[in-house]
Amino acid sequence: MIVLKFGGTSVGSVENFRKVAGIINDVKEPKIVVLSAMSGVTNTLVKLIENLESGDTNNALVQINALNEKYIEVARDLLDDDNGFYKAQVFLNKHHQQLLSMVTEKFTTTVERIIMAEGELVSTNLFQLFMEEHSDSVLLSALDFMQIDKYGEPNTNVIQDRLSKILANHLSKDTFITQGFICRNEKGEIDNLKRGGSDYSASLIGSAVNAKQIQIWTDIDGMHNNDPRYVDQTFSVQEISFHEAAELAYFGAKILHPQSIIPAQEKNIPVLLKNTFKPECKGTLIHNKARSEKIRAIAAKDNITAIKIKSYRMLMAYGFLKKVFEVFEQNKTSIDMITTSEVAISLTIDNTSRLNEITRDLQGFGNIEIDSELSIICIAGDLAQNNKGITSAIFNGLKDIPVRMISYGGSNYNLSFLVKTSDKIAVLNILNQGLFPELKTENALYV
Ligand code: ASP
Ligand code: MG
């Protein structure tokens, strides 16, 4: 079994729906196709929810009707067969009526979650009607097998059990379509795996059926060795290990939801990142057997705030760090990078919504300094300490750039450092020129 997941832009228009169908039909093995909502739809649903919550029924009605018109137009263009279009109209009308009924209903989080699920339910139903005109596919409702527990975590045993029973009812079929993102919670209500959760769905489904491969189709050629928005000569990385992908996903290589590869990694299922609009591009394969590279890729994360706590009480004391970390725990703020000296600790956060409370709670610990507008630069690769020369190559190139913090040795796959965001583009370019032998540049510092 192969799992193919297509993101919002891949199903963003009639033309793209057709492209997706072409890609699926080229896969000559049994497959489960996981779709996101059409691009922009989930954002519209979020706005609709905001309007319902604030009681702005006029705007809510405008949004609901506009969405319905858009869908009818898509169905009309997509479906050649009158019967298919009729079925689409019946389906769309039911969903339109459901949304309209929510305008008068009392707004609750249950209503909110039902609305959030609409995007994926509609995209998959339209796509199934289109597929029915050409080939033989089965639409599976993710609500029949995707299950989260009371902590919002996927219940993998239940998912596996239910999905295998459902598939066993369709032994003669080999193409299944289902929704990403949506699920049921422990109360049996409609729920979701949080924004961007369709990748996670694909990975959970792949793990549940022990898929041979999970393919994530988006609108870029896989993972790049550097950020193409700021650096000219980037290339897509052909293969990468799960460890490296996990480091990079967090640091802003936004192609994958960071959590989403965990189920695939646990079962050792390769994940292939592909471009729907350039299927001929090889893409990036994330797997355990990736040939090791000293430097695989570079990524940056902005909006970082550094907090330094300096205290002579820390010298040779125990339990100091625990108390500092408790402040962050109490303020529900996660820490990204940490460095310590004997008498000081520096750490970074990206969520500053409780910075005032954190600063207040840290007062008793020593002298506090806060710096903002910083960026973390993450270098991923096989950076084990016996790979000599890597750190000198990196920092030689950066001799004119002030570096605020360095973190190395946390894992063998990551070296991160903190710079002013105003230096970020220069840093990304210097490192790109220096660290990738593939580019054969004049400023090479190859390690
Ligand atoms: N449609 C959902 C979102 O935009 C889930 C996804 O596309 O991954 O967040
Ligand atoms: Mg998406």
Mean pLDDT score of the chain: 94
Give exposure, 393-414, as e/b (b: 16+ Cβ within 10 Å).
bbeebbeebeebbebbeeebbb
- For ligand 1, say whether the CB of 182 is within 6 Å of any of its atoms: no
Domain ranges of the chain: 2-219, 297-440
The candidate with the shortest Cα–Cα distance to 384, out of 419, 409, 420, is 409
- Residue 10 banded pLDDT, cuts 50, 70, 90: very high
Give pLDDT, residue 440.
Answer: 75
| CATH T-level fold of 297-440 | VC0802-like (3.30.2130)
Percent of the residues in the chain that have a pLDDT greater than 70, as a whole number: 98
From 118, 181, 261, the mutation candidate for ligand 1 (largest count of ligand atoms within 8 A of CB) is 181
Is the per-residue pLDDT at 447 higher than 70?
A: no
- For ligand 1, say whether the CB of 176 is within 6 Å of any of its atoms: no
- For ligand 1, say whether the CB of 12 is within 6 Å of any of its atoms: no
Residue 119 is which amino acid?
A: G
- For ligand 1, say whether the CB of 35 is within 6 Å of any of its atoms: no
Q: What's the CA gap between 164 and 223, in Å, rounded?
A: 32
Yes or no: say if 383 and 412 are a contact pair by the CB < 8 Å rule: yes
Residue 61 is which amino acid?
A: L
What is the CA(254)–ligand 1 centre distance, in A?
13
Give pLDDT, residue 388.
Answer: 84
- For ligand 1, say whether the CB of 217 is within 6 Å of any of its atoms: no
Q: If you average pLDDT over residues 147-174, what whole number do you get?
A: 97
pTM of the model: 0.88
Q: Is the dihedral of CA 326, 331, 337, 341 positive or negative?
A: negative
Residue 182: beta bridge partners?
192
The candidate with the shortest Cα–Cα distance to 79, out of 71, 66, 179, is 71
Q: What's the CA gap between 127 and 130, in Å, rounded?
A: 5
Q: What's the CA gap between 85 and 75, in Å, rounded?
A: 6
Give pLDDT, residue 255.
Answer: 67
Q: Please, which residues have CB less than 5 A from ligand 2, an ion? A: 7-8, 36
Q: If you average pLDDT over residues 103-113, what whole number do you get?
A: 95
Q: What is the dihedral of CA 16, 22, 23, 28, to 10 degrees?
A: 160
Q: State which CATH number among 2.40.50.140, 3.30.360.10, 3.40.1160.10, 3.30.56.10 fits the domain covering 2-219.
A: 3.40.1160.10
- For ligand 1, say whether the CB of 180 is within 6 Å of any of its atoms: yes
In this structure, the residue with its CA closest to atom 8 of ligand 1 is 196
- For ligand 1, say whether the CB of 258 is within 6 Å of any of its atoms: no
The backbone torsions φ and ψ at residue 405, rounded to the nearest 5 degrees and listed phi first, read: -155, 150
Give exposure, 369-389, as e/b (b: 16+ Cβ within 10 Å).
eebeebbbbbbbbbbeeeeee
- For ligand 1, say whether the CB of 37 is within 6 Å of any of its atoms: yes
What is the CA(198)–ligand 1 centre distance, in A?
6
The bound ligand whose nearest atom lies closest to the alpha carbon of 120 is: 1
Q: Is the dihedral of CA 393, 395, 396, 397 positive or negative?
A: positive
Give pLDDT, residue 248.
Answer: 84
Yes or no: say if 159 and 208 are a contact pair by the CB < 8 Å rule: yes
pLDDT tens-place string over residues 178-213:
999 999 999 999 999 998 899 999 999 999 999 999
Q: Looking at 150-288, list the stretches that DSSP marks H as alpha helix, in order from N- to C-terminal side.
A: 156-168, 198-208, 242-250, 262-266
What is the CA(257)–ligand 1 centre distance, in A?
10
SS3 per residue for 9-20: HHHCCHHHHHHH
Is the per-residue pLDDT at 428 higher than 90?
A: yes
The bound ligand whose nearest atom lies closest to the alpha carbon of 9 is: 2
